[in-house]
Structure 1
């Protein structure tokens, strides 16, 4: 009798589990349809929500982008936020691991975001007075709480605060304000020592490999961000050369790899902004003292080192880290937008043929340079999780042109993906890409079975 009772109990338990699993699968499939629907022009929720706006500059958006970022159909922030939280809760429950707390925290400033985006064609939510006050409060403490700073920085950093915030996010500057000046002074002197030992020496003291590496860097520096005249200045190129060569000598496992020169440019611009006023088009480093230039270079060197420490295998032999992430990107696109994935495969185009450069240069060559520092606010706020989050950003970036891609043959796909129509992009388009990426990351990252075949 006792055994029969146990068997009945186990059978009932199995039926309940089967019912729950079926319900979760059904809900997940519906959620997936919702995500795919977002690519057909519905409003896109996420870390930052863009609502209907009357800004005339939106008329300048490219036709390719208009499909995926239809502001006309955008609903209310409250409704959209609720839908996202419900979808994230459903998918996270399937794996009994939720990311809802982060999502709720990130959407607490949505009303301020919408107002600020409506005010400015730059999409500079970071300049909203309420957010500036929040940054000021976090940064003014004796010890900066980095988690709070990351939450704020994810959605953009005020320009004049960016140098301090980036140093903190990368762990270059200590969160304890009493130690900050001492640490920076010591690290800057350390960089000076590196330069004198490795760079300011005759070629007769270098190995053949070091001479070849220095020559390659000297060739690449003038090619770096060619459409920004500021980088044409000989002094700027010389600073970039010193930073890259010193970094390469200090990191022999990878040495210099083409693409790392691009990664140094956001740091150079941000740390120069502490000493130069106005827009970058009017900048000149000729009047800066050698001490200031040295400090700027040192900050760039150490921050570049901190960034690359988290993705070392991206730049070692054969760059296995990038190849691994390109494969994950392909799988994610297949799961989110199967028609695009199937079409690309049918045309014989490999993701590695276009996405390798995206990972190698972190999209710096794909978007207007004036948007790069905003994008990097999010990169640096992600911290150690950045490599995995790049997959979601790049999927969102690619699927901006979902419908367009399905109409192109192999040759047209190659040409289109090598010359994407982002020249007229503003912060609005970039925020849309980041919003989708955050939503998909929240839905899929803690439920890897949803990405399986």
Structure 2
């Protein structure tokens, strides 16, 4: 049975077997099913098919009501709100150039509203650069319910109602995604710094030679890996492989794909290139680490790295002190 047929079978039942869906999604979701699968993985829609339409209608109406709480123009904004809005606009203009759809005015305006509303409703988090990157996969996947285009002509396939549904669904899925990782995006971003320290400890345990090399060259993990945690590797891979990676992250039934498993993926990436990295001198080493040749990865590259990450995760997860520096 093909993977597409497997997903079709799981998704065609009156009550979707969520546990099975999590399990098969770990190995990647076919493009044609992703828009539907991610809604389940983020628990945005109920597993009972006969309730889906009503739940979506309710959430979309609720989003419309929330939009009315956004200041109508700059004159109604506080200084902080104006600062947030301007930063969002700047970041959206720097969106992924490989996805022309993101430069369509209506799509950009939807992204602005999603991010601005989220910032207003979550003052402890607000808006931090990097959040704009996290909206993109969700938005594109929701567009794919109605159109598989990612070019500027996507609007030829979308009517106004569909665009509103896409925006609302993206907002709620974005909110669900951030529930477990909101502390990544506080003003101090303390959770990211903590994970960078933990990553360093894991690297010392599993690849002492590379860890020693970084120490010898006085290169700290934060110098190249902060972006890996801030944008969850979306900037390191092609968009196609970024979606594939997120299939696995979202398929963690406990919701720890981004919060826990991601760290081991980062270590697995370093291990993949370890033999080359240990031969480089400072300047070339920094250049390589900041520009890994991951943009050309194939499915096999991604799958083997995720498998390695799972081995590392399994090795450490049952040890309460696995991130302690004591030997």
Q: TM-score, normalised by structure 1?
A: 0.68
Q: Tell me if structure 1 keeps the 8 A contact 2:128–2:187.
A: no
Range 434-443 or range 358-367, more displaced: 434-443
Q: Tell me if structure 1 keeps the 8 A contact 2:183–2:191.
A: yes
Matched position secondary structure for 1:301:
helix
Whether 1:223 aligns to 2:94 is: yes
Q: Residue 291 of structure 1 corresponds to which residue in structure 2? A: 161
1:164-243 to 2 correspondence within 5 Å?
164-198=36-70, 201-243=72-114
| Higher Rg | 1
Residues 315-365 of structure 1 show CA distances to partners (whole Å, capped at 9, x for unaligned) of 112111111111111111111110000110111111112111101000000
Q: Residue 11 of structure 1 corresponds to which residue in structure 2? A: none
Range 332-341 or range 346-355, more displaced: 346-355
Measure how far apart 1:155 and its partner are: 0.5
Aligned equivalents of 2:54 and 2:179: distance in 1?
23
Aligned equivalents of 1:130 and 1:368: distance in 2?
24
Q: Residue 246 of structure 1 corresponds to which residue in structure 2? A: 117
Q: Residue 262 of structure 2 corresponds to which residue in structure 1? A: 390
Matched position secondary structure for 2:70:
helix
Q: Residue 413 of structure 1 corresponds to which residue in structure 2? A: 285
Q: Residue 144 of structure 2 corresponds to which residue in structure 1? A: 273
Q: Tell me if structure 1 keeps the 8 A contact 2:202–2:267.
A: yes
Residues 253-296 of structure 1 show CA distances to partners (whole Å, capped at 9, x for unaligned) of 1101000000001011111111113x534742255221111100
Residues 219-260 of structure 1 show CA distances to partners (whole Å, capped at 9, x for unaligned) of 110101133323222222222111111111111111010000
> Which one has more relative contact order, counting CA pairs under 8 Å at least 6 apart?
1
**Runs of 4+ with >4 A deviation:** 448-452
Change (3 A) 1:220 1:282: closer
Q: Tell me if structure 2 keeps the 8 A contact 1:268–1:297.
A: yes
Q: Tell me if structure 2 keeps the 8 A contact 1:230–1:281.
A: yes
Q: Residue 183 of structure 2 corresponds to which residue in structure 1? A: 313
Q: Residue 133 of structure 2 corresponds to which residue in structure 1? A: 262
Matched position secondary structure for 1:285:
helix
Measure how far apart 1:421 and its partner are: 1.3
Change (3 A) 1:176 1:402: same
Q: Which runs of 5+ in 1 are unaligned?
A: 1-128
Q: Which runs of 5+ in 2 are unaligned?
A: none
Aligned equivalents of 1:205 and 1:395: distance in 2?
46
Aligned equivalents of 1:328 and 1:380: distance in 2?
22
Q: Residue 13 of structure 1 corresponds to which residue in structure 2? A: none
Measure how far apart 1:412 and its partner are: 2.3
Whether 1:345 aligns to 2:230 is: no
Q: Residue 4 of structure 1 corresponds to which residue in structure 2? A: none
Q: Alignment length, in residue pairs?
A: 323
Give the root-mean-square deviation of aligned CA atoms.
1.7
Measure how far apart 1:385 and its partner are: 1.7
Range 439-448 or range 320-329, more displaced: 439-448
Aligned equivalents of 1:448 and 1:378: distance in 2?
24
Aligned equivalents of 1:234 and 1:354: distance in 2?
33
Whether 1:372 aligns to 2:242 is: yes
Aligned equivalents of 2:306 and 2:248: distance in 1?
8
Residues 96-151 of structure 1 show CA distances to partners (whole Å, capped at 9, x for unaligned) of xxxxxxxxxxxxxxxxxxxxxxxxxxxxxxxxx44333323322233222211100
Matched position secondary structure for 1:443:
helix
Change (3 A) 1:259 1:450: closer
Q: Tell me if structure 2 keeps the 8 A contact 1:240–1:264.
A: yes
Q: Tell me if structure 2 keeps the 8 A contact 1:276–1:283.
A: no
